[in-house]
Amino acid sequence: MGRGEGGDRDTHMATPELPDIDAIRQAAARIAPVAHRTPVLRSKFFDERTGAQVYFKCENFQKAGAFKFRGAANAVLSLPEEEARRGVVTHSSGNHAQALALAARMRSIKATIVMPEGAPAVKRAAVAGYGAEIVTCAPTVRAREQTAAEVVARTGGVFIHPYDDARIIAGQGTAALELLADVPDLDVVLTPVGGGGLTSGTAIAARALSTRARVLAAEPAGADDARRSIGAGRILPSENPQTIADGLRTSLGELTFAIIRRLVEEIITVDDASTLMAMRHVWERMKIIIEPSAAVPVAVLLAGGARFAGRNVGVILSGGNVDLDALVWSAANG
């Protein structure tokens, strides 16, 4: 599966850009000066509930509040100077937007973020707060892509896809690289899957660094394109995803599909009620804020029954960007 390796047996597409463990190691070196090495937390509650030893990799404490900063920083910092000077462009209403804006600011280059009309004001404010330019478009995938292409054509900026990009995947893989360095004897790594960047990077790292760790991807039942796509052997995008896990409404891309179908053991879906309950348990028992997308693998863990008993299980808590305006704050006076 190496970069430029020719012995790929079952692929029907050219895969020269697939990142490997060397790309992840290089990404780790590149982003070390700017990204947090996030802590790994334990929880007696979750250990008792599952019979497992659970290790939570806390990307909610990452810069800009999510693992997305790893990939964005790797992409921005790996640009040659003459490309970087033209700035970076993406379309996102979520954590990738903030992450890319922050990474660009750190390199003192321009970032232009295409965001759909109706994106939450708090997210627009965060992106603007990092100094990025926001271009608004209609809330459709087509409008986003077209608008981003127009910005690229106009500015000469470098488009950085949120997940279907080897630099992004390598960056996201640094979370599992750190986790496996801290806890080498993991049996399972649980990660949420949306577009598949985090899952792909995690799977590449686990395959290279561990002989025993299997990677399981957790997906919302209402946005189960990854499960369906892997089952069908071809990409079947989500048409109208319905889930509170707003970071996981995206569909697999070509790169992430190719990696996940070969390296991920299983894709497990959970409903939103289980995700909400899992999120609440983490807030209440661990006293940390995670976002719904990060609670999806926790819900899979809790629903696992005896599956995880006696195992060392790593869970990547992908982010902590919750819109607190959606909670009723005056009610905090319980």
- Residues contacting 81, CB < 8 A, separation 6+: none
Q: Which of 108, 211, 240, 333 forms a contact with its own copies (CB under 8 A)?
A: 333
Distance (Å, whole) CA 256 – CA 241: 19
Read off the tokens for 234: 């071809």
Q: Which of 116, 120, 135, 307 forms a contact with its own copies (CB under 8 A)?
A: 120
Count of beta carbons in the 10 Å neighbourhood of residue 239? 7
Residue 116 in contact with its own copies, rule: CB under 8 A: no
The distance of closest approach from Cβ of residue 324 to its own copies in the complex, given in angstroms and rounded to an integer, is 6
Q: Would you state the torsion angle of the CA atoms of residues 291, 294, 296, 300, taken in this order, to the nearest 10 degrees?
A: -140
Residue 327 in contact with its own copies, rule: CB under 8 A: yes
The window from 145-153, 166-174, 220-228, 273-281 that contacts its own copies (CB under 8 A) reads: 273-281
The order of strands in the sheet holding 312-317 is 40-41, 53-58, 312-317, 188-192, 214-220, 266-270
Q: Which of 22, 32, 39, 154 forms a contact with its own copies (CB under 8 A)?
A: 39
Residue 240 in contact with its own copies, rule: CB under 8 A: no
Residue 279 in contact with its own copies, rule: CB under 8 A: yes
CB of 61 or CB of 163, closer to its own copies: 61
The distance of closest approach from Cβ of residue 283 to its own copies in the complex, given in angstroms and rounded to an integer, is 6
Residue 247 in contact with its own copies, rule: CB under 8 A: no
What single DSSP character describes residue 66? Answer: B
Residue 276 CB burial class (10 angstroms; 0-12, 13-18, ≥19): middle
Residue 315 in contact with its own copies, rule: CB under 8 A: no
Read off the tokens for 276: 């909400």
Asked if 223 and 247 touch (Cβ cutoff 8 Å), the reply is no
The window from 58-66, 166-174, 181-189, 300-308 that contacts its own copies (CB under 8 A) reads: 58-66
Read off the tokens for 154: 């106009």
CB of 183 or CB of 290, closer to its own copies: 290
The window from 158-166, 198-206, 219-227, 319-327 that contacts its own copies (CB under 8 A) reads: 319-327
Number of residues this chain uses to bind its own copies (CB under 8 A):
31
Asked if 60 and 36 touch (Cβ cutoff 8 Å), the reply is no
Distance (Å, whole) CA 163 – CA 135: 20
Binding site for its own copies (CB under 8 A): 39, 60-61, 65, 120, 244, 246, 276, 279-280, 283-284, 287-290, 292, 320, 322-334
